[in-house]
Structure 1
Amino acid sequence: MTQPVLAYRWSQSEFVRAWEAKAFDHRVELVEGEIWPVVIGSWHGDTVGQLLALLPRTGVRVTTSTLPTGGSLPDPDCWVRRADADPIGTIGSRLSVWSAADVLLVVEVADETTIQDLNVKARLYGQAGYPAYWVVTHDAIYEHTGPIATGYRTRVEYLPGEHIPVPYTDARIAVDELIAADS
C-alpha cells in the first residue's frame, strides 16, 4: 500500500528566519510555500547583465532584490519601481514590501525555468497586480500585461528582429539586444 506524501508549506516568516540564519547552502526563493532553487548559468547571467544595462532608469529604480508577493518571496532577475516609492512594510530585518502601484515591471530570465516562469510566476505576479511582467527566453521575450486574479489578460511574444516596448517609458528595446548570445 502506498502512503500519501505530505507536503510541507513554508510561511514567509519561517523562510525568512531560515534565510537569515543562513540555513540554505545555495540561492533559493519561496514560491507558494515551496522552496525553489534559483538556477543560474552563463547565459542567464549575461542576459541579466544586458537587462540591467538597457532598461531606462529615468525616474525609476532597477533592482535585483527579492520582491515579496502575496505569501511568496520570489527572486525576479530584475524589477523596476518608481524612484520616489517608499516601502509599505518589511519582512524580517532586511526585506522591504512594495505597493503593486509602485512596481512597474518584473522580469524573469528563463533558462531552465521557462514553464514555471510562464505559468506559476505569471499567476503570482498577476495576482499581485504588477502591471507588466516579462519572461526572457533564449528565443523570445513574453510580455504579460493586464493583471487579473488568475495571472494576466494578455501575453505577447516578441521575437528577434522585433522591439519590445518598455512599459514605464516611451522607449522600445530591440529583442536581439536583450537576449544575450549563448555562451
Structure 2
Amino acid sequence: MSLILAKWTLDDYHRMVASGVLDDRQVELLHGEIVEMPPEGEPHAYFNTDVRDYLIRRLGNRVTVREAKPITLPESASEPEPDLAIVQPLGREYLIHHPYPENIFWLIEFSNSSLIKDTEVKRRIYAQAGIPEYWVVNLKKMELMVYREPFAGDYLSQITLTDGEIRPVGFPDVVISVRRLLD
C-alpha cells in the first residue's frame, strides 16, 4: 500500500493562516506541503539583520527589503518565507497580497542547518517562478552562492564567491561587496 499525501492549495493555506491554526508553528508552504522551518540561531539572525541594513543603505527607496515575510508563488503552490526578499516598493498594495514573482528583484537565504533545502528545494521553486536572482549565504563555509538565469525549473548560472563585488541583475549600477555580506 502506498501513501498518498494531501497537497494544500494557496487558498487552503491562507485559510489555515487566517483561522490561527498555524499561529504557534514556524512553517512555510512548499509545493503544496506545509514544511516546518528550523529555529533561527544567533549567526543567522545577525547576518540577516546586518545584510538587510546594508542593502537598504545601498538601494535606498528603490526597493523594499522584506525580512522573513511570505512571498506568493502560485505556479508551484508555494508561499515560502525567504530571509530577505528585495521587492518592488508597492507600499500598501502588500496589504492585499504578498509579493508575486513579478514584484521580486531577488531573494536571499542565510543557510546553516537548512542548506540542502535552500540549495535544492527552494532553488528550484524560485527558478520555476522566474525569480531572476537567488543568493544563498552558506554560513558554514562563509561563501555566497549566486543563482541567475532561471530556465526550465532551474538556474542556468551558478557562481560561488568569497570576495570581490557583485552587481544585482535588477540593479547593475549598484555594487555590493561580497566581503561585507560575509564579515
Query: What is the TM-score when the length of structure 2 is the normalising length?
Result: 0.83
Q: Match for 2:37: what amino acid?
A: V
Residue equivalent to 2:36: 37
Mapped to 1, the partners of 2:176 and 2:41 lie a distance apart of 24
Structure 1: distance between partners of 2:78 and 2:31 = 5
CA distance in 2, matches of 1:86, 1:168: 22
Distance in 2 between the 1:140 and 1:175 partners? 9
* Cα separation, 1, equivalents of 2:78 and 2:100: 15
User: 1:145 aligned to 138, 148, 172, which one?
Assistant: 148
Counterparts of 1:85 and 1:152, CA distance in 2: 30
**Superimposed CA distance per residue, residues 106-133 of structure 1 (whole angstroms, 9 cap, x where no aligned partner):** 1111121111111111111111111111
- The number of residues matched between the two structures is 172
Give the conservation status (yes or no) of the 8 Å contact 2:72–2:101.
no
Write out aligned runs for 1:1-183 (5 A): 3-24=1-22, 25-39=24-38, 40-55=40-55, 56-64=59-67, 65-70=69-74, 71-83=77-89, 96-138=97-139, 139-159=142-162, 161-169=163-171, 170-179=173-182
Shift of 1:98: 3.9
Q: Say which SS state the counterpart of residue 57 (structure 1) adopts.
A: helix
Give how far 1:53 is off: 0.9
2:97 is paired with a residue of what secondary structure?
A: strand
> For the Cα contact (< 8 Å) 1:106–1:132, is it kept in 2?
yes
What RMSD, in angstroms, separates the aligned Cα atoms of the two structures? Answer: 2.2
SS of 2:47's partner is helix
Consecutive unaligned residues of structure 1, counting only runs of 5 or more, are none
- 1:157 Cα offset (Å): 0.5
Q: Which protein has greater RCO, CA pairs closer than 8 Å, 6+ apart?
A: 1
Post-superposition Cα deviations, 1:78-99, rounded to whole Å, max 9, x if no partner, equal 1112225885xx8xxx661545
Structure 1: distance between partners of 2:4 and 2:90 = 44
* Structure that is richer in helix per residue: 2
Output the CA distance in 1 between the equivalents of 2:6 and 2:157.
Answer: 33
CA deviation after TM superposition for structure 1 residue 58, in Å:
3.8
Aligned counterparts of 2:13 and 2:28: Cα–Cα separation in 1: 9
